[in-house]
Structure 1
């Protein structure tokens, strides 16, 4: 491992190219193991009243490097802006071998403690540079005073090639008047609703404040164009977009603040956290830190939702279990095989929970849209809420009073009736065990589709929709035969035969998902 510091560009004296003990600090940190963090020796700057100073730090990380490498920067008084750029090499690797990938962020003088107040921004691997000052900051970073003390630039070597990773970090401090203060404009917690009604919303969206390419204004416009009533802002690992959503919300669009927490053992959505609230992601499942941050979300009245649990990419597959979760994202973007796996696993957990009389975990679906051509609202949640407010929408999702739609062009109504009683999605119908229960699904917008009724015994009814795309499917059962019933509406096969195919393979007897409901529970009276 090597490090070096070059001469400043403007003013000040160059620090020694390799401070005594620097290599020992690095080696000691690396010896802690792959999950550990390592802190380098500090980089110092001379005090000044104007101009700027730059230091350049280079180094090498071997395969098996810690998850996070902290570069301390001693910030003197009088700094109005800290600017950082970085790069790393990308040597050729054999097919199937991960190449180099490195994230970056920064913590201020308040420290790097897990969940602490020092967080000032994260851009992952999406940007090669950022700047922070009192009045403004690069998207993904938080504006605010640049106070004197020890700041930390954080490298996150996400993947390291067999050859290791050579990195270069350039830190520039600019001196002078700090300028005006940034004033956030958070979105309102209420929009103009229709009272108790079904509301459509996408709860997993990204902007330029993380790795998306859409501006917040473009996301809001896309949500309106998709016929959505609400969205949740879930940029990766940062709340920096929260303070710009205010003017973009309105009577017709509720915007809820959130975060996608991207750990090395899976991603999860923190939905409905307080404006400006931040959730830490610097832990693995073996660290036992996840429950602490799940509790933080729950204290704010928000939801914890594991995201795309079967995503095949590195660090995306869910490893934390579901005890702290309020729902699970079983459908993420256009329908694929990992969504099939997520729905199958969710259904197995649902059957087990109902069988043992335990609380069950609702299903959600979201677009996870980052940029064009990814479609905002494909899919989205249709939730029964008392009104179009943050609290009411979250309550409906938490209770499972929701279904998932591929687009606003799909309509659905799902009920079960028996003994003069009626229950809808996410509700419970209590009847004598042998009493007839009539299940009814009304669908529109899925030409030639397939309706499936699925219980804890598996699929027990299937029928095709007409070419018009609208129709009603009915089925009779009893509470002694089915502990719950849920509905799926599938597109036809790719070859066009009704209800018989899939763009993912001709071996499946139906096509990709068009709509998916949470269950109606059937309970035996007495």
Structure 2
């Protein structure tokens, strides 16, 4: 979808996304159910309508002709067709838009025939491209709602959330269907496109958020980098998300609606001296989801590709040129199309903790830790860990978990720099505080930093924690867990452990809640449940290096 912007900031059209819904959102399943049932989409296959569908019937339903000089009546076009199993990831339905159209309204539906247990049923997403075309990364994108809405509209002045207000120019537009899953019987679709004529209306004025809030200088700032609103598959309005972030004690958030930039224009009045809001997007492909954090306001990132298409690097470059970060999201999420298949070589971090702690988070942390050890052994840069709520609606808690980032100030660039460098730790809530340092040979380093000392110089690892009653502290290195200690019932304590750079390439900390049975948990468990209780806090590493000679 996106063109590849370069720094400094690109010029942006004034006609950009709307911030108020024109249709109420339909009821929504839980967050992880959404990942399973069809919001993600993937690889672009530019096939014509006839080749893609096998059958397409277009039936216009025009009203009586307008008198000379009068506004023409609404015109409705009905598109139907059949998609067999094995259809392309995207099917483009052309719609000819004449002069004088002020609004395009679309509604759709599809059949859901019964299928045997364990067999995927029909699930089909929808979006639209304007007369500028459907090219991957091109300028024609005008909106996407996945499977969350059955109807939408857009005009010069406003649009349904997920869609971009702007000129309704004459030419060939395309409604795009994303047959996310197709039953063995195939999928019958029915799309109605209504063209409403009249004066174009006022130009939409986006209200983008500022890139700076009132900070505390160099300090630790808390922020959730994965949040959804009514602009994709969330049920919270942007103002509700902003209020929830303030209530959670956050200093910043990143807006990451699926496959659209439409919410960017809504955040301006909702940010403030106490809350920095960064535009972003969750790019949901058929081979995994990734977060584009800190995008240019209004910038859109395309999602219509698979790993085998080798298009992912192109969009990584786009995000990097704007100064943003690329972060694979919930890489071990067990639902269709969520597992990460693009590799980590071009990523700036990885989301190892997504919402309430689960088995897939445990797997993500284990894999991240293994890659960390290999990267340091091979002299390569290591990948920072992030944790985010991925909150969509009540009762999913905004800020649980979130990132605590050491930044020079509360600005877009400073926060992104802190995340990129790994000067951050992950907390389940603002009630948890933590400080991890390593000192020795007259030197000191903190989270995300390096300490270079003689190989056998004694090093004191000091971890101070509060807010985790009865929790278990784990100190881990490239050899695994090296120290475990319980916190008192009050939840606060300090743990000190000694090592050397010859024995540890890095040290990081985890703070766990007690297990459900009240025990602290132990490693190497062969039992059916997790060996540890839920995560309360997790740090990025302090890297230990030995002096040459």
TM-score above 0.5, yes or no: yes
Name the structure 2 match of 1:493.
515
Q: Tell me which residue corresponds to 1:106.
A: 128
Unpaired runs of at least 5, structure 1: 14-46
Q: CA deviation at 1:7?
A: 4.2
Equivalent residue, structure 2, for 1:412 = 434
Give per-residue Cα distances to partners, 1:156-203, cap 9 Å, x unaligned. 000111111111000100001111111000000000000000000000
Instruction: Give 1:4's aligned residue.
Output: 57
> Is 1:124 the equivalent of 2:177?
no
- Structure 1 pair 362/48, CA: closer, same or farther in 2 (3 Å)? farther
Contact preservation (8 Å) 1:51, 1:176: no
Counterparts of 1:70-109 in structure 2 under 5 Å? 70-109=92-131
Q: In the TM superposition, what is the alpha-carbon distance from 1:94 to its structure 2 partner?
A: 1.7
Q: How does 1:36-75 map to 2 (within 5 A)?
A: 49-75=71-97
User: Structure 1, residues 475-499: CA drift from partner, whole Å, max 9, x if none?
Assistant: 1000000000000000001011234
**Cα 1:239/1:511, change in 2 over 3 Å:** same
Q: Matched residues in 2 for 1:300 and 1:48: separation?
A: 47
Whole-Å Cα distance in 2 between the matches of residues 279 and 11 of structure 1? 42
Q: Deviations over 1:75-127 (max 9, x none)?
A: 10000001100000111112221111100000000111111110000000000
Match of 1:367 in 2: 389
Structure 1 residues 32-431: aligned runs within 5 Å: 49-431=71-453
TM-score, length basis structure 1:
0.92
Instruction: Choose between structure 1 and 2 for higher RCO, CA contacts under 8 A separated by at least 6 residues.
Output: 2
In structure 2, distance between residues paired with 1:11 and 1:115? 40
CA contact (8 A) 1:123 1:210 kept: yes
**Native 8 Å contact 1:436 1:477 kept in 2:** yes
Alpha-carbon distance in 2 for matches of 1:351, 1:377: 29
Shift of residue 10 of structure 1? Answer: 2.2
Secondary structure of 1:115's aligned partner: coil
CA contact (8 A) 1:89 1:100 kept: yes
Question: Conserved in 1, the CA contact under 8 Å of 2:65 and 2:73?
Answer: no
Aligned residue-pair number: 491
Note the alpha carbon deviations across 1:313-332, whole angstroms, 9 max, x for none: 11111000011100000000
Q: 1:236 to 1:508 in 2, by over 3 A?
A: closer
Query: What is the distance in 2 between the residues matched to 1:90 and 1:319?
Result: 29
Quote the RMSD (CA, aligned, Å): 1.5
1:458 paired residue number:
480
State the SS of the aligned residue for 1:8.
Answer: strand
1:49 positional shift: 3.8
Q: Secondary structure at the match of 2:431?
A: coil
Shift of 1:500: 5.8
TM-score, with structure 2 as normaliser: 0.88
Asked if the contact 1:493–1:500 (Cα under 8 Å) also holds between the matched residues in 2, the reply is no
Deviation by residue 1:227-278 (Cα, 9 ceiling, x = unmatched): 0000000000100000010000000000000000011100000001100000
Farther-moved stretch of structure 1 (310-319 vs 88-97)? 88-97
Deviation by residue 1:290-309 (Cα, 9 ceiling, x = unmatched):
00000000000000000000
Q: Pick the aligned partner of 1:442 from 460, 464, 469.
A: 464
Q: State the alpha-carbon separation in 2 of the partners of residues 151 and 304 from structure 1.
A: 31
- Distance verdict in 2 for CA 1:506–1:410, change over 3 Å: farther
Q: Which residue of 1 aligns with 2:538?
A: 516
Alpha-carbon distance in structure 2 between the residues aligned to 1:107 and 1:275: 20
Kept in 1: contact 2:328–2:347 (CA 8 A): yes
SS in 1 for 2:279: strand
Q: What is the rounded CA distance, in whole Å, between the counterparts of 1:525 and 1:479 in structure 2?
A: 9
Spell out, residue by residue over 1:389-423, the C-alpha distance to the aligned partner (whole angstroms, 9 max, x if none). Answer: 00000000000000000000000000000101000
Return 5+ residue gaps in structure 2 as ranges: 1-53
* Cα pair distance change 1:12/1:341, threshold 3 Å: farther
Contact 2:102 2:155 in 1 (8 A): yes
CA distance in 1, matches of 2:481, 2:385: 18
Distance in 1 (alpha carbons) for counterparts of 2:200 and 2:323: 36
